[in-house]
Structures are given as structure tokens and as C-alpha cells.
Amino acid sequence: MIQNIEVILADVPTIRPHKLSVATMNTQTLVLVRVVCADGVEGWGEATTIGGLNYGEESPESIKVNIDTHIAPLLIGMEASQVAKAMAKIRKIIQGNRFAKCAIETALLDAQARRLGIPLSELLGGRVRDALPVAWTLASGYTAKDIAEAETMLEKRRHRIFKLKIGARPLAEDVKHVLAIKKALGDAVSVRVDVNQAWSELEAVQGIAALEAGGVDLIEQPVRAENMAAMARLAQRYAVSIMADEALHGPQDALAFANASAADVFAVKITQSGGLIPAAQVATVAQLSGVSLYGGTMLEGGIGTAASAHLFSTFADLSAGTELFGPLLLTEEVLQTPLVYKDFMLHVPTGPGLGVDIDMDKLARLRRK
């Protein structure tokens, strides 16, 4: 039986300013959900987002209020092992709130997998890989600084895929910045860009042509999420891969984008999809439609990153890699034992449930009072 649901906000500084077209992050607010069951088993989930309300319609504060006030009361007293039944109830009654629903579902699945003594990935169909390639985002905004940061990552054998956040500056400046980094790093390294919806279609036509010619491998969400027609025209016009990210809020959006041939790659994010199971459905739509998969992040800490890793380990195709570097951007670790990043890969935890445990003393120090 579900006995208690607690939402914890923890403010953690980042290792450097992280500049997106929608916000500059100096601190990340982790949104952690703890589900306590009557049999003594606990499960954890995460609903972390980016930049308050700059990125999406849920903020850390609204997630906490909505779980505490509206979602938790629906679940207290329900059978904890019947995760699908619990999620069906809140998906029927609660509108929207995808991030909150994801954290609840993750916590319930974590608890159930711990109860059964198996990794969470085995409740999601079973893993086909034990490690995931991980991209690093270069987002200082300074060309020389980004090049130096990338070279350090290569030397450490931590990352050899680099994503550049662009769209906040004039188009010509952004293109010059990206191509200088690509030239410095060479052909052995994959360089991608994330525009975070900042361009008009005309700017995208101009920008993508220059970036494609310069050897950039992938263009993420170049135009507004709702402009599916423009995404389709861009995907059909250029050989370089066009990836949908903010446009995908679950399997229905994925199906619409696949039917419109509006993206070559889908960025799968468990929170944006509304949970691990809907995110798996997004991946299924992609695989049936010939769309490649990329494992996305909301810059979560260790809990959300581990949850995503368990799901992504079950994908038959993960040709575009992942960006599960969230914990590496933070100055504090909330796990007892950090996730393992080695030889350009994130190694998927193998213990029961998420396979990670919270450092409660550290969380007590970081949590918002």
C-alpha cells in the first residue's frame, strides 16, 4: 500500500553558467519524489525542469504544489505494486502535469523493481546494452572556452559527442562560433547544435545550410515546436539530421511527427513524455516509423538520469546517442555512490530498482527550507 508521498526541492549550483536561448542557468533545482510503501519499500523519482518556467509550463514549485495537493491524495492507500492501475487513475483525473506524473511513475516502478529484486530496466522490457554513449553540452557562450572544455573532455575520455547551445545571438555569430569549434575538434568528433526553437524558418534555412556544409551532424529543434510543417520542410530539404525535442510531449505528438515526416530523430525525454511508459511508446513509434532515437535530458540529477538510462538501455536503436550528463553539470552529488561515466559512456546501474541510493544527509543540507 502507498503510505506517503513526499516532494523535495533541492537547489544545487552548476559548475559554470549554462547558457540556452531560453535561459542562463547558474543553479539547478532538483525536484525529487519519495514514495513510502507500507511494506517498508521506498521508491524515488525526479521531475526536474530547466529555467523555472522558461522551458516548459511546469516549474519546480508548481510540481510540488500539484503533487502535494492534487496527486498524492489520489494515490495514498492504493496498492503500491499495481503501478499501471495507479498511473491510469491519475492520468484520467489529472490534466497535463507530465513532469509530476513522470516522477510519480518512476518512484512507483523503482519501488516495485526493488520489491522484486531486479533492475528497473527489466520491468521496461529488458536492457539490450549496459552502457550508453553520452554527449556533453558546450554552453559557456565563448568559442575558445568551449574548445578548451571539449579538449579536456576528450583527454579524460568522458565525451566525444558535443552539442552546442545556440539561438540567443545573431545567426551569423552563432554559425561562426559553431564552425570554429568543429574545425578545432576535427572529424573524429561529432558536433551537433540545439537551437531551442529560436529561429524562424528562413533563419533555419540559412543556418542549416552553413552548418551542414561545415560538417555539423545534427540540428535540434531549429524552429518553434508547434511549427510541424516547417520542421517537415527542413527535414526533407537537408541531408543533415533534424531532431524534434520540445515538440514531443508524448506518443501522440511522436505519431503526428512521424506521419508528417517532420524529423529524422526524436529526442526522448521521460519527463516531457509524461513518464517512463509513455516515453517507451514514443520510442516504439519512432522505431516503427524509421525515425532514429536520441536519449534526452532535462539536466536532472542522479535519480532522473538513472531512470532515463534504464529506459534507454532497452532501446533497440540508439544511433544518435544520449545526453545524460546532468549530474556532471552540478557541483553537488545527491547519490551515495555517483553514476559511473567511463570511456565516453554512462554505465547503467545494475542493482535493484534504479540501482542508486540517495545520500539523505547531503539532501537534508541541500533541500529548500
Number of domains observed in the structure of the chain: 2
pLDDT higher than threshold 90 for residue 320:
yes
Confidence of residue 84 (pLDDT cuts 50, 70, 90): very high
Alpha-carbon distance of 47 to 113, in angstroms, equals: 19
Candidate list 58, 220, 300, 323, residue with the active-site label: 323
Q: Which domain holds residue 334?
A: 123-347
Annotation marks residue 165 as catalytic: yes
Average pLDDT over residues 77-95: 98
Q: Which residues pair with 35 in a beta bridge?
A: 5, 43
Looking at the fold, whether 241 and 336 belong to one and the same domain comes out as yes
Residues 275 and 147 in one domain: yes
232 with 296, same domain? yes
Read off the C-alpha cell for 220: 535540434
* pLDDT band for position 22 (cuts 50, 70, 90): low
Alpha helix stretches (DSSP H) within the chain: 60-66, 72-75, 83-93, 98-116, 143-155, 171-185, 201-213, 228-237, 251-259, 270-273, 276-289, 302-312, 360-366
Instruction: Read off the pLDDT band of 166 (50, 70, 90).
Output: very high
| CATH number of the domain within which 28 lies | 3.30.390.10
Residue 352 lies in a domain: no
Report DSSP state, residue 313.
T
Q: Are residues 158 and 45 in the same domain?
A: no
Residues 57 and 171 in one domain: no
My answer on whether 22 and 162 are in the same domain is no
Among 19, 64, 163, 165, the one annotated catalytic: 165
Predicted TM-score of the model (pTM): 0.95
**Is residue 296 domain-resident?**
yes
Do 60 and 151 lie in one domain? The reply is no
Say yes or no: 180 and 304 in one domain.
yes
Residue 333 and residue 223 in one domain: yes
Would you say residue 353 lies in a domain? no
What string of DSSP letters covers 195-257? Answer: -TT---HHHHHHHHHHHHHTT--EEE--S-TT-HHHHHHHHHH-SSEEEE-TT-SSHHHHHHH
Relative to beta strand 265-268, strand 241-244 is: parallel
Instruction: Report yes or no on 185 lying in a domain.
Output: yes
CATH code for position 139: 3.20.20.120
